[in-house]
Amino acid sequence: MVVAVGYGLLARRADRWPWRRSLAGGLALAVAVVVLDGPVAVYGDLLFWVHMIAHLSLIMVVPVLVACARPLALLRSAGPGGGRRWAQVLDSRAVRLVTFPLLTLAVYAVVVVLTHLTGFQQIAVEHPVVRGAETALYVVAGYLLFAPLIGDDAEPRRMPYLLRFVVLAVAMGVDTLTGVVLMLTGTVLAPGYAAAHPGWGPERWPIRASRAR
Protein backbone atom coordinates (compact mmCIF):
# COMPACT_ATOMS: atom_id res chain seq x y z
CA MET A 1 0.00 0.00 0.00
CA VAL A 2 2.81 2.41 0.89
CA VAL A 3 4.58 1.65 -2.36
CA ALA A 4 1.40 2.19 -4.38
CA VAL A 5 0.66 5.53 -2.69
CA GLY A 6 4.25 6.71 -3.08
CA TYR A 7 4.36 5.75 -6.75
CA GLY A 8 1.02 7.44 -7.39
CA LEU A 9 2.09 10.69 -5.71
CA LEU A 10 5.34 10.80 -7.66
CA ALA A 11 3.51 10.05 -10.91
CA ARG A 12 1.23 13.03 -10.29
CA ARG A 13 4.26 15.26 -9.73
CA ALA A 14 6.01 14.04 -12.87
CA ASP A 15 5.45 15.87 -16.12
CA ARG A 16 3.13 13.81 -18.36
CA TRP A 17 3.96 10.47 -16.79
CA PRO A 18 2.67 7.73 -19.19
CA TRP A 19 -0.35 5.84 -17.88
CA ARG A 20 1.06 2.58 -19.22
CA ARG A 21 3.90 2.78 -16.71
CA SER A 22 1.49 3.37 -13.86
CA LEU A 23 -0.57 0.40 -15.08
CA ALA A 24 2.55 -1.80 -15.08
CA GLY A 25 3.30 -0.71 -11.53
CA GLY A 26 -0.24 -1.53 -10.42
CA LEU A 27 -0.09 -4.95 -12.06
CA ALA A 28 3.24 -5.67 -10.36
CA LEU A 29 1.69 -4.94 -6.97
CA ALA A 30 -1.39 -7.01 -7.81
CA VAL A 31 0.70 -10.05 -8.74
CA ALA A 32 2.81 -9.62 -5.61
CA VAL A 33 -0.32 -9.52 -3.42
CA VAL A 34 -1.72 -12.70 -5.01
CA VAL A 35 1.60 -14.49 -4.55
CA LEU A 36 2.38 -13.29 -1.03
CA ASP A 37 -1.11 -12.93 0.50
CA GLY A 38 -3.44 -14.84 -1.82
CA PRO A 39 -4.08 -18.48 -2.80
CA VAL A 40 -0.48 -19.01 -3.88
CA ALA A 41 0.72 -18.07 -0.40
CA VAL A 42 -1.89 -20.32 1.26
CA TYR A 43 -0.86 -23.47 -0.59
CA GLY A 44 2.76 -22.57 -1.34
CA ASP A 45 4.10 -24.39 1.71
CA LEU A 46 1.93 -27.46 1.10
CA LEU A 47 2.26 -28.14 -2.62
CA PHE A 48 5.67 -27.77 -4.18
CA TRP A 49 4.33 -26.96 -7.65
CA VAL A 50 2.35 -24.06 -6.21
CA HIS A 51 5.53 -22.82 -4.55
CA MET A 52 7.25 -22.95 -7.95
CA ILE A 53 4.51 -20.70 -9.33
CA ALA A 54 5.43 -18.23 -6.61
CA HIS A 55 9.11 -18.48 -7.57
CA LEU A 56 8.42 -17.79 -11.24
CA SER A 57 6.10 -14.91 -10.40
CA LEU A 58 8.57 -13.26 -8.04
CA ILE A 59 11.68 -13.64 -10.18
CA MET A 60 10.13 -13.07 -13.63
CA VAL A 61 6.63 -11.59 -13.69
CA VAL A 62 6.90 -9.00 -10.91
CA PRO A 63 10.41 -7.75 -11.89
CA VAL A 64 9.41 -7.37 -15.55
CA LEU A 65 6.34 -5.33 -14.59
CA VAL A 66 8.39 -3.22 -12.19
CA ALA A 67 10.96 -2.57 -14.91
CA CYS A 68 8.14 -1.51 -17.26
CA ALA A 69 6.86 0.86 -14.54
CA ARG A 70 10.21 2.72 -14.69
CA PRO A 71 10.57 3.49 -10.96
CA LEU A 72 14.09 4.85 -11.37
CA ALA A 73 13.01 7.20 -14.14
CA LEU A 74 10.16 8.38 -11.92
CA LEU A 75 12.58 9.14 -9.10
CA ARG A 76 14.79 11.01 -11.51
CA SER A 77 11.98 13.21 -12.75
CA ALA A 78 9.91 13.71 -9.59
CA GLY A 79 11.82 12.23 -6.67
CA PRO A 80 12.02 13.97 -3.29
CA GLY A 81 14.92 16.40 -3.07
CA GLY A 82 14.89 17.17 -6.77
CA GLY A 83 15.45 15.16 -9.90
CA ARG A 84 19.04 16.32 -10.30
CA ARG A 85 20.01 14.76 -6.97
CA TRP A 86 18.51 11.39 -7.95
CA ALA A 87 20.13 11.64 -11.39
CA GLN A 88 23.53 11.91 -9.73
CA VAL A 89 22.79 8.84 -7.60
CA LEU A 90 21.58 6.78 -10.54
CA ASP A 91 24.60 7.77 -12.65
CA SER A 92 27.08 6.89 -9.89
CA ARG A 93 29.74 4.21 -10.23
CA ALA A 94 28.03 2.06 -7.62
CA VAL A 95 24.79 1.92 -9.62
CA ARG A 96 26.69 1.24 -12.84
CA LEU A 97 28.49 -1.65 -11.15
CA VAL A 98 25.32 -3.17 -9.71
CA THR A 99 23.55 -2.95 -13.09
CA PHE A 100 26.47 -4.30 -15.15
CA PRO A 101 24.82 -6.94 -17.41
CA LEU A 102 27.32 -9.74 -16.85
CA LEU A 103 27.15 -9.22 -13.08
CA THR A 104 23.33 -9.18 -13.01
CA LEU A 105 23.28 -12.35 -15.13
CA ALA A 106 25.70 -14.06 -12.73
CA VAL A 107 23.60 -12.99 -9.72
CA TYR A 108 20.45 -14.32 -11.37
CA ALA A 109 22.08 -17.65 -12.20
CA VAL A 110 23.51 -18.10 -8.71
CA VAL A 111 20.18 -17.28 -7.06
CA VAL A 112 18.23 -19.73 -9.26
CA VAL A 113 20.71 -22.59 -8.84
CA LEU A 114 21.49 -22.24 -5.14
CA THR A 115 17.87 -21.81 -4.04
CA HIS A 116 16.65 -24.84 -6.01
CA LEU A 117 19.44 -27.40 -6.25
CA THR A 118 20.63 -27.29 -2.64
CA GLY A 119 18.96 -27.73 0.73
CA PHE A 120 17.87 -24.10 0.74
CA GLN A 121 14.17 -24.90 0.30
CA GLN A 122 14.12 -27.11 3.38
CA ILE A 123 15.77 -24.33 5.39
CA ALA A 124 13.17 -21.89 4.08
CA VAL A 125 10.34 -24.23 5.15
CA GLU A 126 11.74 -24.41 8.68
CA HIS A 127 12.58 -20.70 9.05
CA PRO A 128 10.05 -18.04 7.98
CA VAL A 129 12.75 -15.36 8.07
CA VAL A 130 14.63 -17.20 5.35
CA ARG A 131 11.42 -17.45 3.33
CA GLY A 132 11.00 -13.68 3.52
CA ALA A 133 14.61 -13.14 2.50
CA GLU A 134 14.06 -15.51 -0.42
CA THR A 135 11.15 -13.38 -1.63
CA ALA A 136 13.20 -10.19 -1.59
CA LEU A 137 16.14 -11.96 -3.22
CA TYR A 138 14.03 -13.16 -6.15
CA VAL A 139 12.49 -9.77 -6.83
CA VAL A 140 15.83 -7.94 -6.65
CA ALA A 141 17.71 -10.51 -8.76
CA GLY A 142 14.93 -10.53 -11.36
CA TYR A 143 14.76 -6.74 -11.54
CA LEU A 144 18.52 -6.36 -11.91
CA LEU A 145 18.43 -8.83 -14.80
CA PHE A 146 15.38 -7.56 -16.68
CA ALA A 147 15.63 -3.77 -16.20
CA PRO A 148 18.62 -3.37 -18.58
CA LEU A 149 17.07 -5.84 -21.03
CA ILE A 150 13.80 -3.91 -21.19
CA GLY A 151 15.73 -0.65 -21.39
CA ASP A 152 14.91 1.41 -18.33
CA ASP A 153 15.35 5.03 -19.39
CA ALA A 154 17.00 5.78 -16.04
CA GLU A 155 19.77 3.32 -16.94
CA PRO A 156 22.93 5.23 -17.98
CA ARG A 157 24.06 2.47 -20.36
CA ARG A 158 22.23 1.29 -23.43
CA MET A 159 22.67 -2.41 -24.07
CA PRO A 160 22.90 -3.42 -27.73
CA TYR A 161 19.93 -5.56 -28.74
CA LEU A 162 22.17 -8.48 -29.66
CA LEU A 163 23.69 -8.44 -26.15
CA ARG A 164 20.21 -8.31 -24.64
CA PHE A 165 19.26 -11.40 -26.60
CA VAL A 166 22.41 -13.25 -25.50
CA VAL A 167 21.87 -12.39 -21.82
CA LEU A 168 18.22 -13.46 -22.00
CA ALA A 169 19.14 -16.71 -23.76
CA VAL A 170 21.74 -17.58 -21.11
CA ALA A 171 19.27 -16.80 -18.31
CA MET A 172 16.67 -19.04 -19.97
CA GLY A 173 19.30 -21.76 -20.23
CA VAL A 174 19.92 -21.56 -16.49
CA ASP A 175 16.18 -21.83 -15.79
CA THR A 176 15.79 -24.76 -18.18
CA LEU A 177 18.77 -26.64 -16.77
CA THR A 178 17.53 -26.16 -13.21
CA GLY A 179 14.07 -27.40 -14.15
CA VAL A 180 15.44 -30.49 -15.88
CA VAL A 181 17.60 -31.35 -12.87
CA LEU A 182 14.59 -31.00 -10.56
CA MET A 183 12.52 -33.32 -12.73
CA LEU A 184 15.19 -35.99 -13.05
CA THR A 185 16.68 -35.98 -9.56
CA GLY A 186 15.89 -38.76 -7.11
CA THR A 187 17.23 -36.79 -4.16
CA VAL A 188 14.76 -35.22 -1.76
CA LEU A 189 15.90 -31.64 -1.37
CA ALA A 190 12.90 -30.41 0.63
CA PRO A 191 11.25 -33.21 2.65
CA GLY A 192 9.23 -30.61 4.53
CA TYR A 193 6.82 -30.43 1.59
CA ALA A 194 6.23 -34.17 1.76
CA ALA A 195 5.47 -33.97 5.48
CA ALA A 196 2.97 -31.16 4.93
CA HIS A 197 1.31 -32.62 1.83
CA PRO A 198 -2.50 -32.53 2.40
CA GLY A 199 -3.21 -35.78 0.55
CA TRP A 200 -4.95 -34.14 -2.39
CA GLY A 201 -3.81 -32.31 -5.48
CA PRO A 202 -1.26 -33.46 -8.07
CA GLU A 203 1.98 -34.83 -6.69
CA ARG A 204 5.22 -33.42 -8.01
CA TRP A 205 8.84 -33.47 -6.97
CA PRO A 206 9.89 -33.73 -4.20
CA ILE A 207 6.69 -35.26 -2.77
CA ARG A 208 6.74 -38.42 -4.84
CA ALA A 209 10.46 -39.01 -4.28
CA SER A 210 10.03 -38.59 -0.55
CA ARG A 211 7.15 -41.07 -0.30
CA ALA A 212 9.01 -43.61 -2.38
CA ARG A 213 11.50 -43.86 0.42
pLDDT tens string, the chain, 213 residues long: the values are 788 888 888 888 777 888 899 999 999 999 999 999 888 888 877 777 788 899 999 999 999 999 999 888 887 777 666 566 666 776 777 777 888 888 999 999 999 999 988 888 888 888 889 988 999 999 999 999 998 888 765 555 677 888 889 999 999 999 999 988 888 877 667 776 665 555 555 554 444 433 433
Task: Please tell me whether residue 212 adopts helix, strand or coil conformation.
Answer: helix
Rounded CA separation 177/166 (Å): 16
What is the DSSP code (8-state) at residue 199?
S
- Using CA atoms, how far residue 107 sits from 65, 174, 184, 194, 206, in Å, is 20, 12, 25, 30, 25
Rounded to two decimals, the pTM is: 0.82
Three-class secondary structure assignment of 119-182: CHHHHHHHCHHHHHHHHHHHHHHHHHHHHHHHCCCCCCCCCCHHHHHHHHHHHHHHHHHHHHHH
